[in-house]
Structure 1
Amino acid sequence: MNLKEAIKLLKSNVEVVSNYTYMTILQVVNSFFYILIYPFVISAIGVESYGLYVYAASISTYFFVLVSFGFDIHAAKLVSIDQKDNVLHVKILSTVTAAKLILALVSISVGVVLYAIVPFVESNKALFTICFSNILSSVFLPTWYFHGVQKMKIVTFIQLIAKFLSLPIIYMVLSRDPVVDAYALIVVATSIAASLLAFLSALMMMKEKLVMPSLGDVSKMMKDSQPFFWSSATNTFKQKSVEVIIGSLFGMTTLAVYDLAYKIFSVPSLLASNINAAIFPKLVKGADRTIINKIIKVEFVIGVICMISVGVAGYWVIQVINIPGMQDAHFLSMLLSVNIVTYLVVGSHIYFIYVPRDRYDLVLNNQVVSVLTFYLLSVVFLWLYWDVYSVVSALVGSALFEIMYSYYLVRRVERY
């Protein structure tokens, strides 16, 4: 290897590390931000109201995923292959945005029906409308573009600035008017504003104007992204169903406890799970199986370290927050931490084996089996023991089964 090649390799590795760092900072700070304001929000609006907000946000997430439609992985792949073609990039941006606007209209139509037929949604119309409006952030947030060109620091700075600017607003508004609708409005408005700014930043980087995509281009983009949509939809359906089930069966206060547990668990899990996403642009054209095996071994160790960190840090988070009745959040977060290993192992299979080989169908198969396993285990565990721990245990059990099934799919892929 000559000096020029060595410098190129070093630069490539630095870009991967930088991309991972900014992706992780963005999501970790996002999770930490809500832990930071958690005590104040709970004391201002109450545990029950906060649980209601989590419930409404969970329902709205289904529509958020519909609008996102799996474009993030497919569009990032297209941009990663040719990171310098701005004409191609603006065409992709135009096509993805048009497709998302169409899906947003579909979501609005479904939302109107929900208001008409579900009394609980109708009785909390203002809160559900505010949370539902967050689909606009999905329409305009081009994370896939910044991921593909490995410029995640831009979207990271935008979202961090928006979050910190919203902090004094949350304190001022809730101090005067401590209602859950006001809190939801600030959170959603911040998200939408950051997305719009990121969208404009992407356009400025491309130095091109948006174009009117053909229906054929929009249709093809949706068709190519469809496997990722079904994968993300089934995964989100499983994750958010946990919150919906807990809120429906055990009440909004218990849901608020679970939400705190999930926030504690999410910080180290995001540190780990973003590794595969950051490496993805460099290995999108295919990776040697030996390299993938080494990555998985390292990530398994990282996963175990993250599980230990949840147990240790979670205890102190609960002590600092010091809200009566929240102690179960520590034990729930420790149970959830088992999922970190699943994120890493299954994520490496998806990013480095399935996607490079265009086996998007296997991504979907894996998620479908996982969500079906979750519901089956939920029924069995709740029948044996009617408690929130049964629901979370079912989630963890389905995650462990997901690892085993993913290895089965990998062997099937490599056989042909």
Structure 2
Amino acid sequence: MLEKLGFIPIGDIIKNKSIQNFLFLAIIQSSNVLISIISMPLLIQGIGVDQFGLVNLSLSVIVLLNILVGFGYNLSAPREVAVNQNDKTALSHLLSNIFSAKILLAAFATLLILLGVFGFDLFKEYQLILVYSVLLLFSEATLPLWFFQGMEKMKLVSIANIFSKLLFLMGIVLFIHSPGLSKWVNFMMGFSGLLINLFLLAYIHTLLEIRFYRPQLSAIWASLKENVLFFFSNLTGYISVNGGLIIFSFFAGAETLGMYSLAERVVMVLRLFPSMIIQAIFPNASKLYKKDEKSFYRFLGLVYKRVLLFGAVIATLAYLSAPWIILVLSRSELSESVLYLQLLSPLLFLSCLNIPNITMMLVADLKQLLFKASWMMCLYMIIVASILTYYFGGIGLCFGILSTEIVAYIICMVLLRTRNRKLFNGFYS
């Protein structure tokens, strides 16, 4: 009815590729949020707060190594797929080379973990949990999200993600009932993801008629060299955003770490929203930037205004509902976790500030600029968060993480203005 009256062009909205990408990415992240909400109280009751903190700490190490496995392909590969959407031969070679590269990187990352655990006796409190978590590396290596994103066909991969999370949740309910079973938590997450990814690869091969060729070592090496800056940008970006738990582990015991980990898990789920927006608009933004820069700036500005409003609302709701959220997740009143969650709640809004800067760097292929901004932000975070954590504990860490987002925004603004004045003025003027 509204569409007939002309108030809201619902049909046009639904057909928009960027909005479709966002909706399906939202489904993926929403399912991740829902499963996290359901699984957290089950895990805390099953393995205890201290083991829950160690499981999360292991997961943080694995996710850090997953940056190595991804090696920036999440930024470069969707663009390559989008350019070659109608060329099955090119897509076949692209798919074969990228998957081969990522599997080799996953094997290398696994070797690093095994060497650290059995060779140098690192990660003493959670060695067994970490070793059982390596399956997550191969789950990341075989995830074809970047392919479906570039093809702008996100429906199937969003449904597959839901099945993967449901399998993981079912495993927790059926098998995780004591602290001694904590080593299986991340293993089950990796197993369910890997299983679903294999079905997606079978779909790509049979129904989309994309062949898997023998990998070309020269092409793999060339792509790795091309993605080096993207890899370091992702790595430093991850450390800046998620390195707080690792830093805190040097200053706090397992129980306190679990308290902080519970609050951080909630905030970091919300923190995925800005990156989800960038992934959703990236294919269309790239096309607009090449065809019509004015349309690109208008499009980015419209997205930015709506994202800032949404981010402010969600951040406020997270602050006000922090006691209820912690009570629901832990089924107990953990005042320390509530405090951490309230302090970190503005993070969602602050992280939204940088969306146009990152998008402009990506569409203009400013890899060196993005890398420079990332390592500067990372260096600031490590120094400031470590100092504040040493003197003020978890509260200091929260303020260090919040200030990192503000500094990151300022750094990107200054770099864009000084290194690419045309791009900066095109959007901000």
Settle same-fold status: TM greater than 0.5.
Answer: yes
| Distance in 2, Cα, partners of 1:105 & 1:212 | 18
| Distance in 2, Cα, partners of 1:170 & 1:345 | 37
Cα-to-partner distance string for 1:308-332 (whole Å, 9 max, x where unaligned):
1212343322232354462332332
Cα-to-partner distance string for 1:285-326 (whole Å, 9 max, x where unaligned):
314334433432332222211211212343322232354462
Deviation at 1:66, TM superposition (A): 0.6
Letter in 1 for 2:339: F
Segments of 4+ moved more than 6 angstroms = none
2:352 aligned partner: 344
Name whichever of 321-330 and 178-187 sits farther off. 321-330
| Distance in 2, Cα, partners of 1:182 & 1:101 | 22
| Percent identity of paired positions between Structure 1 and Structure 2 | 20
1:390 aligned partner: 396
Deviation at 1:141, TM superposition (A): 0.5
For these two proteins, the number of residue pairs brought into alignment is 407
Deviation at 1:400, TM superposition (A): 0.5
2:370 to 347, 363, 370: 363
Q: Contact 1:234 / 1:367 at 8 angstroms: preserved in 2?
A: yes
Q: CA, structure 1 residues 52+175, in 2 after alignment: closer, same or farther (shift >3 Å)?
A: closer
Letter in 1 for 2:233: S
Letter in 2 for 1:132: V
Name whichever of 153-162 and 203-212 sits farther off. 203-212
Q: SS in structure 2 opposite 1:119? A: coil
1:242 aligned partner: 244
Q: Contact 2:315 / 2:346 at 8 angstroms: preserved in 1?
A: yes
2:111 aligned partner: 109
The unaligned stretches of length 5 or more in structure 2 are: 1-8, 423-429
Q: CA, structure 1 residues 112+266, in 2 after alignment: closer, same or farther (shift >3 Å)?
A: closer
Q: SS in structure 1 opposite 2:354? A: helix
| Distance in 1, Cα, partners of 2:98 & 2:117 | 28
| Distance in 2, Cα, partners of 1:40 & 1:184 | 14
Q: CA, structure 1 residues 113+182, in 2 after alignment: closer, same or farther (shift >3 Å)?
A: closer
1:373 aligned partner: 380
2:303 aligned partner: 295
| 1:37-56 aligned within 5 A | 37-56=39-58
Residue 135 in structure 1 maps to residue 142 in structure 2: no
Letter in 2 for 1:108: T
Q: Contact 1:15 / 1:150 at 8 angstroms: preserved in 2?
A: yes
2:420 aligned partner: 414
Q: Contact 2:384 / 2:400 at 8 angstroms: preserved in 1?
A: yes
Deviation at 1:338, TM superposition (A): 2.6
Cα-to-partner distance string for 1:62-89 (whole Å, 9 max, x where unaligned):
2211111010110001112232222222
Q: TM-score, normalised by structure 1?
A: 0.90
Q: Contact 1:59 / 1:240 at 8 angstroms: preserved in 2?
A: no
Cα-to-partner distance string for 1:159-192 (whole Å, 9 max, x where unaligned):
1012223323321212488621233332221122
2:166 to 164, 175, 182: 164
Q: TM-score, normalised by structure 2?
A: 0.87
Q: CA, structure 1 residues 34+165, in 2 after alignment: closer, same or farther (shift >3 Å)?
A: same
Q: CA, structure 1 residues 317+115, in 2 after alignment: closer, same or farther (shift >3 Å)?
A: same
The unaligned stretches of length 5 or more in structure 1 are: 1-6
1:4 aligned partner: none
Name whichever of 106-115 and 47-56 sits farther off. 106-115
Letter in 2 for 1:327: S
Q: CA, structure 1 residues 43+275, in 2 after alignment: closer, same or farther (shift >3 Å)?
A: same
| Distance in 1, Cα, partners of 2:314 & 2:207 | 36
Deviation at 1:120, TM superposition (A): 4.7
| Distance in 2, Cα, partners of 1:192 & 1:366 | 33
